[in-house]
Structure 1
Amino acid sequence: MVPHGFRFNPTDEELIQFLDRKASGQEMPLHFILETNVYEREPQDLEYLYNKIVACRESNRSFKQW
């Protein structure tokens, strides 16, 4: 889940680097992307969680595109 208006539009090389880091368990460079198991939560909980993130991110618009 990412803040409203965020565009995740990496090049192929950037995407491979991103996924390689994720697969190897390294710290992710994009701390504003929330990772959650959607199968462990109710839909309304996901909406609440997303809305909390949006509210926190509204004050920092510097991360509009990666």
Structure 2
Amino acid sequence: MMFEVFDTPRLKEVVGTRTRKRPDTRAIVQLLQSLNTPHGTTTFLVQSTPFPKHGKTGRARLFLLLPMEKV
């Protein structure tokens, strides 16, 4: 099975006094439509858990699993 990974489009949103980055659903839909993937393609939106002391930051990724063509 082949797959592609894309950074999730983000939108800045003010929450209280802070600015947060949230997944931009409109941009995600536009990205998926622009790829012209075949029917049956599975898409996952994965949010990683941040561990700043270990060098890992919270960042969402968009995974597309593309069905393999029959040979």
TM-score range, shorter chain: under 0.3
Q: Give the structure with the higher percent helix.
A: 1
Q: Larger strand proportion, structure 1 or 2? A: 2
Larger RCO (CA within 8 A; separation ≥ 6): 1
TM-score by length of 1: 0.26
Higher-Rg member (1/2) = 2
The normalised TM-score by structure 2 is 0.25
